[in-house]
Amino acid sequence: MQSRIRAAGIADIDEKLRGGERLALEDGVRLFECDDLLAVGALANREREKRHGAKTYFNFNLRLEPTNVCVASCLFCSFARLKPTDAAAYTMTLEKAWDKLRQRAHQPLTEIHVVNGLNPDLPFSYYTELLLGFKRIRPDIHLKCFTAVEIAYFADLYGMTDEQVLTELMAAGLDSLPGGGAEIFAPRVRRKIAHDKCDADRYLSIHRIAHGFGMKTNVTMLYGHIETIEERVDHMLRARGLQDETGGFQAFIPLAFHPDNNQMRKLPAPSAFDTLRVHAVSRLMLDNIPHIKAFWIATGLDVAQTALWFGVDDLDGTVQEEKIYHMAGSPTPEGVTMSHLSRLVRSAGREPYERDTFYNVKEPVPA
């Protein structure tokens, strides 16, 4: 492999990594420009194994999107409906949202991940009641709910500070924040694809506040649309910068753009090659974020499995009821079983571990 890494022109980057030296923006760009994916993957795999050996994590989780009514018109989104009167617009009653959890009383779920549209018609109490109700039904469930973009929207809509919103949601049972809404931090891209979302500084500031309150969060990156390689690496470096300050990010999650039924539908979806490369470079640039997650609903199950040799150590979870990607054309199943994930991991020569949201692991999952 050494001669391959030399031939690929990345021996100096290999040296830096061996010496524990941080990679710079130019290194990240060169890794993206390197055609030898196996050489880049080998470096990423070494970093992965240094941290986690063969361990591969996932949890038993449920995705819920209680409303898709949204005032934002992000070019990549196939889920949002601007008008509540649109035939495909919906807002669940609290009872209906709680029922989704009640119906799964038999499942050993450990986490609910909630993502919503930015709905202008709901009172703030809808969200606090939603959380309180989930905890009443299942006090031990972890509530990973509302992206930083939603938190910013709540603050602006209900006349509160970001701190007040987080404090009130935490009092109602919020346990952590998911990483959604990051898209691409660079203003050139963000203005084009997500012009009415909060900007990168506010997104990062909300995560900073959450970390200061003792919460863990994730951070995502939507790739494969109009962003440049430099803008991808810049995005990673901004996440790395906040992590240096707070240490509160648990996982970095590259999200593959899905082009069906949205305003960027003329663009092709990113290739498997690009997806493996993005995950590998993420592992190499983000030396301070413990986990790199392949969200299998976005990458496809086969590519997520392969990514376990390209820097990835986490596969999210069972993800039942997902809508955002399925409305954008994802052909993946709507949820998989723990034994399916376990088989995928084992047949890739890795070890499956069921985790909770904080990466406490149970025993290895039986095949």
Residue 178 touching ligand V47 (CB under 6 A): yes
Amino acid in the structure at residue 171:
A
Q: Are 295 and 255 within 8 A, CB to CB? A: yes
Give the separation between CA 365 and CA 50, rounded to whole angstroms: 22
Residue 310 touching ligand V47 (CB under 6 A): no
Give the separation between CA 187 and CA 199, rounded to whole angstroms: 8
Convert residues 21-60 into a mask of x (bound to ligand V47 by CB under 6 A) and - (unbound): ----------------------------------------
- The interface region with ligand V47, picked from 226-234, 249-257, 277-285, 340-348 by CB under 6 A, is 249-257
Residue 183 touching ligand V47 (CB under 6 A): yes
CA distances from 110 to 24, 101, 171, 319 (A): 38, 11, 19, 11
Which of 58, 134, 203, 257 lies at the binding interface for ligand V47 (CB under 6 A)? Answer: 257
- The interface region with ligand V47, picked from 116-124, 156-164, 215-223, 282-290 by CB under 6 A, is 215-223
- The interface region with ligand V47, picked from 65-73, 174-182, 279-287, 340-348 by CB under 6 A, is 174-182
Nearest residue to ligand V47 on Cβ basis: 180
Q: How far is the CB of 179 from ligand V47 (least distance, A)?
A: 4
> Which parts of 312-351 interact with ligand V47 (CB under 6 A)?
316, 324, 328
- The interface region with ligand V47, picked from 36-44, 70-78, 185-193, 303-311 by CB under 6 A, is 70-78
Residue 220 touching ligand V47 (CB under 6 A): yes
Cβ nearer to ligand V47, comparing 42 with 243: 243
Give the separation between CA 194 and CA 11, rounded to whole angstroms: 38
Residue 146 touching ligand V47 (CB under 6 A): no
Number of residues that bind ligand V47 (CB under 6 A): 22
Residue 180 touching ligand V47 (CB under 6 A): yes
Cβ nearer to ligand V47, comparing 40 with 77: 77
Residue 181 touching ligand V47 (CB under 6 A): yes
Comparing C-alpha atoms, which of 69, 239, 230 is closest to residue 148? 239
How is residue 49 written in tokens? 């194994």
Cβ nearer to ligand V47, comparing 23 with 154: 154
Lookup result for tokens 């006349």: 159
Residue 116 touching ligand V47 (CB under 6 A): no
| DSSP assignment string, 118-166 | --TTS-HHHHHHHHHHHHHH-TT-EEEE--HHHHHHHHHHHT--HHHHH
- The interface region with ligand V47, picked from 45-53, 126-134, 238-246, 252-260 by CB under 6 A, is 252-260
Comparing C-alpha atoms, which of 147, 91, 152 is closest to residue 122? 91
Residue 62 touching ligand V47 (CB under 6 A): no
| Cβ-based neighbours of 208, under 8 Å, separated by 6 or more | 242, 245, 246, 248
Cβ nearer to ligand V47, comparing 153 with 257: 257
Q: Are 175 and 215 within 8 A, CB to CB? A: yes
Strand order in the sheet with 176-177: 61-64, 111-114, 142-145, 176-177, 216-223, 249-256, 291-292
Q: How far is the CB of 180 from ligand V47 (least distance, A)?
A: 3
Cβ nearer to ligand V47, comparing 47 with 183: 183
- The interface region with ligand V47, picked from 7-15, 173-181, 202-210, 334-342 by CB under 6 A, is 173-181
Residue 115 touching ligand V47 (CB under 6 A): yes
Residue 218 touching ligand V47 (CB under 6 A): yes
Q: Are 317 and 365 within 8 A, CB to CB? A: no
Give the separation between CA 366 and CA 344, rounded to whole angstroms: 12
Comparing C-alpha atoms, which of 286, 319, 366, 364 is closest to residue 53? 364
Which of 5, 8, 101, 255 lies at the binding interface for ligand V47 (CB under 6 A)? Answer: 255
Give the separation between CA 164 and CA 170, rounded to whole angstroms: 10
Angle between helices 272-285 and 37-52 (to 10 degrees): 50
Instruction: State the residues that interact with ligand V47 by CB under 6 A.
Output: 76-78, 115, 178-181, 183, 218, 220, 222, 253, 255, 257-258, 262, 295, 298, 316, 324, 328
